Every structure is written in C-alpha cells, then in structure tokens.
Amino acid sequence: MSVEVVLKQACALPLAERIELCRNLWERIVESDELTPGEAALIDERLQDHVGHPEEVVAWEQVKAKLDAKYSK
C-alpha cells in the first residue's frame, strides 16, 4: 500500500483517531533503532517547547512561502 493511500485513509478518520494514530506512530518510531537517543530527545524537547508555548507556532503556509521564495528557481 502506498504512502498516499495510507495518508488519504488516515485523513478520513475522525480527529481523535488521527491524534491517536500519530501518538502510536511516534511511540513506534521512538522505540525503533532508526532514531538515535539524541534525535529522539531533541524531538521530545521540541514537542515539549511547543506544548508550553503553542502561541509561537508558525503556520505551514508561511513556512512554505518563505522556503519557496528562498529556494525557488
């Protein structure tokens, strides 16, 4: 099954189930050998920073526009 198909199916889930899916995926990533302990700690630290300061979020559209302006040909 392709990533696109899985993503489409996941997006069709109710919000609570999408959140639970994300949590379960994250737990499996952290438990795998694919991330170093330092990488996992850094991501957890950034998540805690976001939880503590949710007002400091930058919308994806703003980030994308800035990257497109900087790196577009």
**What pLDDT, in 10s, does the model give residues 56-68?**
989 999 999 999 9
Q: Is the pLDDT of residue 69 over 80?
A: yes
DSSP 55: G
Residue type, 50: H
Given a contact cutoff of 8 angstroms between Cβ atoms, the answer to whether 21 and 10 are in contact is yes
What is the domain range of residue 61?
Answer: 3-71
Nearest to 23 by CA among 49, 6, 44, 46: 44
Total tally of structural domains belonging to the chain: 1
pTM above 0.75, yes or no: no
Q: Is the pLDDT of residue 73 over 80?
A: no
Compute the average pLDDT of residues 10-39: 90
- Residue 31 pLDDT: 83
Compute the average pLDDT of residues 19-26: 92
